[in-house]
Chains A and B, each alone.
Chain A
Amino acid sequence: MGRYVIRRLLQFVPTVLGAMFVLHYLTSVAIQFTGNPVRAIFGDRTPPQSVLENLTRRLGLGDPCLEQPFNPCFSLFGKRLDAIFLHLDFGTDFNERAVTDIVAGALPHTARLTLIAILFELVVGIIVGVLAGLRNGGFWDYLVKVSTVLLIAVPVLVLGLLVRDFVNVKFGNVLRGVDGMPELISRGFFAPTWSSNHPWASLLMPGLVLGALSLATVARLTRASLLENVRADYVRTARAKGLASNRVVGVHTLRNSLIPVVTFLGTDLGALMGGAVVTEGIFSVPGIGRQVFAAIFTGETTVVIGIVTMLVLVYLIASLAVDMLYAVLDPRIRYD
């Protein structure tokens, strides 16, 4: 097991470096073709040339290779790696705020949001998945299938807007008008947008919206896997021994059925964190999605490289954790 983990960790190195280079190259090409992004800070008013040049240098975009189309800027990449890995200096955004500060400020919000989304997927997804699996082909099966797929099909921006404006604002206003309603509910769970007074509670609705998209997948994976396992020999044996049906499903079948669900959640973790841009925007959650999103358009390459690389790392670690969990959930799997 230990050797396996070390081998996997070593494999992270080329992957992370590769991802950084892809991002570095894309953002460099963007600058080579669209010009110095620092210029936009000054708006319609053309700044004195020296001010622009000084600021550009200070923001790490003074390398002349950024003016030569398709130049991969290897030396700039080297400097960036050197700063990041040897000096833990991830650079700053255009307002000269350190990327590490930005991440420290934004990551907790996104992490909470993702956690709520995953818990929602896990609990509700597995319950409806089991429900559908046990009633295979019946009414409940179809209902679960259609309703969960419908959640995928509705664009998240539409789902988010509808939830915010009708649940959080309209229904929330009704709650806020009720005397004696605890603030945690009226201004927390049903806060119109994210609120710093209720940093956890006001993430509930955004979390549900975010999690709704993967709910269908969890439910269907649970269902499919349950159906497969119900016919497995060990379940037949258990039934034949006369074990109660609930116990068969609960203890024997479900545990094995969860393997694909766990796999999915592991990969979904990174996807949710990087994919929360729209949800964070609609609910004004100050998370990392919004930071990267803004940075891409303003050309703040350090922010893009720093945060997206971090998301890649999250993805890698989550997949490793999933593979470790396999061994726990499925006794047949052993890593050498």
Chain B
Amino acid sequence: MRARFPVKLAAAAAATALLATASACASDGGGGEEPEGTTGGTLRVFLSEPDSLMPSGANDSESNQVITEIYRGLTKNVIEGGVENIIAESIESEDNITWNIQLKEGFTFTNGEPVDADSFIRAWNYAAYGPNAQDGAGFFERIVGFGEMQADPPEAEELSGVTKVDDYSFTVELSAPFVGFPQTVAYQSFLPLAEACLADVDACNEMPISNGPYMLASAWEHDVQVALVKNPDYIGEDTVFADEIIMRIFESSDAAYAAFQGDELDVIDQIPAERLAEAEAQFADGLFQTANNSLTYLGIPFYDERFEDVRIRQAFSLAIDRQAIIDAALGGTQRAASGWVSPLFEGQRDAACTTCEYDPERAAALLEEAGGWEGELTLTANAGADHETWMQALGDQLNQNLGIEYTLDVGQQFAEYLATLENQDAVGPFRLGWGPDYALMETYLTHLYATDQSSNYGFYSNPQFDDLVAQGDSAPTEQEAIALYQQAEDILNEDMVTIPLWWGTQSVLYNPDVVAELNFNPIDYEDYGLTTMAAGG
């Protein structure tokens, strides 16, 4: 499946290795060899209009790109995968239920307030409190006391599971063991907030009072730009490079690509699929490609009895020539998926799915065995996100290889589409995507396939799977947890729970006169602060 990418992946791996040394020595406190590239200068990068600059107020990747640079939390995702401690001195637990968090001292917000235990507790209470209606509230569901804050009217204003020990330490009690807590708190909902910020949330959204290595140079210019400068008071050991990062806001990646061509941008991390081949030819020395962690899949409505037989689901999967669709309709920007967990995650295996390769004969045979297919098939995807074209190609393949007549339902906007899925109204396979929230492979499992979970839109339920994930969550070490998670993924394969289609790849164009090396980490994608600058750039 990776056949098309060997060269690029090798290049990406080399780049990753280089960066690994760079960031490793940075976190050592500056000892050892100098990282390649220099600091200073201005970096102009592509951004879409973010939803919010309040950490818990948004969960879109645009907001995340800004917030990643201006805030720092307990831990941070790093490019090797996993997390490193930033403000946390330590995050420890004996039983995966009660976590003791010790903070480093000396960090401050841009208004001078200290980053202490209170700043985390107040931020978490604000985010989790139902009436505040924060987008990121759901991330606190594992903490004791979350349910009471969601009741209507709320029964509590604070998370009862979070207890302050002293100014620089606090404990968190989870409602069930979870080995991935340190990874989870790297997510932006868990960032600390200043008291002054919560006193005037609207103002803090326009001009954040942040605690990271960068801060806003001036208030957020909506639809125009977010301008960042280095925060002179930041004491963290993680080095950032550019003096200024101008995040220019474009309506579409297509317009941004034009701006990049016209030297108005130094980095663009989204290239329109149709322009990729052209970009590869034109900017060969400024192209960085790597796998990213989005997974696109076809969900199966388990409530539709036509899909009851696993052989039907396997036949569908085998009848899809993923690579041909990717090449023709997606500009080669994806990689055919062969499992339910994305590459770059520890524990991911390339052949987790045994019925994901293209094998039309086997597909037809399986369908035959299962008694064939009656009637018409409807393929559903949400509108307005360019899914029509590849869905049509996919339908053509099912038609060609299995003789199934298909129709497309691609007219529902996202909200309506999700409602359709939540109400079990889908009348055939449906498109969905998933991106990881934290650097542990469990982020691909529980929410999507465990019984009654929030994003289990196929309404799949298998107690064996639930049990293996729960065992993994309470495993004493991450390694042991991963082994159990892998067993859970095997169950998904046996049941052919969804049809994995493709993993994303990230193609980033940069101006080599300005940028030396990009920094890409599995969760936050481009981390512009860690992008090193070309000498004299």
Interface residues of A (CB under 8 A from B): 33-55, 58, 94-97, 101-102, 105-106, 164-165, 168-169, 172-173, 176, 187, 191-193, 195-196, 280-284, 286, 290-291, 297-299
Q: Select the residue from A48, A168, A286 with max chain B CB neighbours within 10 A.
A: A48
Looking at B108-116, B408-416, B501-509, the stretch in contact with chain A turns out to be B408-416
**21 A-B pairs with C-beta separation under 8 A:** A34-B416, A40-B413, A40-B415, A43-B59, A43-B414, A44-B432, A44-B433, A45-B59, A46-B422, A48-B141, A50-B150, A169-B261, A169-B262, A193-B255, A193-B256, A193-B259, A280-B251, A282-B254, A284-B251, A286-B222, A290-B251
Check B389 for interface membership: any CB of A closer than 8 A.
no
**From residue B448, how far is it (CB to closest CB) to chain A in Å?**
9
Q: Are A36 and B262 in contact (CB under 8 A)?
A: no
Contacts of B447 in A (CB 8 A): 45
**From residue B136, how far is it (CB to closest CB) to chain A in Å?**
9
Q: Are A35 and B250 in contact (CB under 8 A)?
A: no
Contacts of A35 in B (CB 8 A): 415-416, 419
**From residue B163, how far is it (CB to closest CB) to chain A in Å?**
22
- With contact pairs A34-B412, A281-B251 given, residues A54 and B133 touching in the complex (Cβ less than 8 Å): yes
- With contact pairs A39-B415, A43-B59, A169-B262 given, residues A51 and B455 touching in the complex (Cβ less than 8 Å): no
| CA–CA, A117 and B412, complex, Å | 35
Contacts of B52 in A (CB 8 A): 95
Contacts of A299 in B (CB 8 A): 413, 415
Q: Which residue of B lies closest to A194 (CB)?
A: B255
Q: Are B256 and A173 in contact (CB under 8 A)?
A: no
**From residue B148, how far is it (CB to closest CB) to chain A in Å?**
11
Q: Mark B52-64, 1 if CB is under 8 A from A, else 0.
A: 1000001110000
| CA–CA, A164 and B154, complex, Å | 54
Check B479 for interface membership: any CB of A closer than 8 A.
no
Q: Are B261 and A51 in contact (CB under 8 A)?
A: no
Q: Are A51 and B133 in contact (CB under 8 A)?
A: yes
Q: Which residue of A lies closest to B149 (CB)?
A: A50
Q: Which residue of B lies closest to A97 (CB)?
A: B222
| CA–CA, A52 and B58, complex, Å | 13
**From residue A102, how far is it (CB to closest CB) to chain B in Å?**
8
**Contact residue among B58, B130, B256, B419 (Cβ-Cβ distance under 8 Å from A54):** B130
**Contact residue among B249, B384, B414, B432 (Cβ-Cβ distance under 8 Å from A286):** B249
**Contact residue among B135, B202, B224, B258 (Cβ-Cβ distance under 8 Å from A168):** B258
Check B176 for interface membership: any CB of A closer than 8 A.
no
| CA–CA, A176 and B455, complex, Å | 50
Q: Are A192 and B251 in contact (CB under 8 A)?
A: no
Check B263 for interface membership: any CB of A closer than 8 A.
yes
**From residue A205, how far is it (CB to closest CB) to chain B in Å?**
11
| CA–CA, A213 and B250, complex, Å | 25
**From residue A204, how far is it (CB to closest CB) to chain B in Å?**
14
**From residue A124, how far is it (CB to closest CB) to chain B in Å?**
25
Contacts of B256 in A (CB 8 A): 193, 284
| CA–CA, A187 and B152, complex, Å | 55
